[in-house]
Structure 1
Amino acid sequence: MPRYEYRCRSCGDTFELSRPMAESAAPAACPQGHEDTVKLLSTVAVGGTAASPAAPASGGGCCGGGCCG
């Protein structure tokens, strides 16, 4: 079950809740009982060893075609 992070506007506490994705937008009360909370955007870190794609050898787009001057 996904975990969502919330922040209470009343006391400033940050907390997490596990809930189904279908309930991700539902209101969440903070552990102190306050109702004025907001869901925070989460960042996901993905590890791996894949190399970055190689840049095109010639032209194409602004980053390789010389269109920026």
Structure 2
Amino acid sequence: MPRYEYRCRSCGDTFEVNRPMARSADPASCPEGHEDTVKLLSAVAVGGTKSAPAPSAGGGGCCGGGCCS
């Protein structure tokens, strides 16, 4: 289930709410009970290094190892 991050405009607290994507636009109350909150834009970063070896073709994994039947 997706996790959405909010900030309370009343107390400044930042908190997270787990809810289905179909309810992503629903308002969220802060843990202190305040109603004036704003949903924050969260960025997901996936990093790597240049020295990491490249995956070998046909050497495993779902799309190369034959696990998809």
Shorter-chain TM-score: what band?
Answer: 0.5 to 0.7
Match of 2:34 in 1: 34
Alignment identity in percent? 84
Letter in 1 for 2:44: V
Aligned residue pairs, count: 50
The correspondence of residues 27-66 of structure 1 with structure 2, limited to 5 A, is: 27-48=27-48
Match of 1:53 in 2: none
Shift of 1:49: 5.6
Distance 1:9 1:34 in 2: 8
For the pair shown, the structure with the greater C-alpha radius of gyration is 1
User: Which blocks of at least 5 consecutive residues in structure 1 are unaligned?
Assistant: 51-69
1:19-67 deviations in Å (ceiling 9; x for gaps): 00011110000000000000000001123468xxxxxxxxxxxxxxxxx
Question: 1:24 and 2:24 equivalent?
Answer: yes
Letter in 2 for 1:7: R
User: Which blocks of at least 5 consecutive residues in structure 2 are unaligned?
Assistant: 51-69
Distance 1:2 1:41 in 2: 13
Distance 1:34 1:43 in 2: 25
Distance 1:47 1:18 in 2: 25
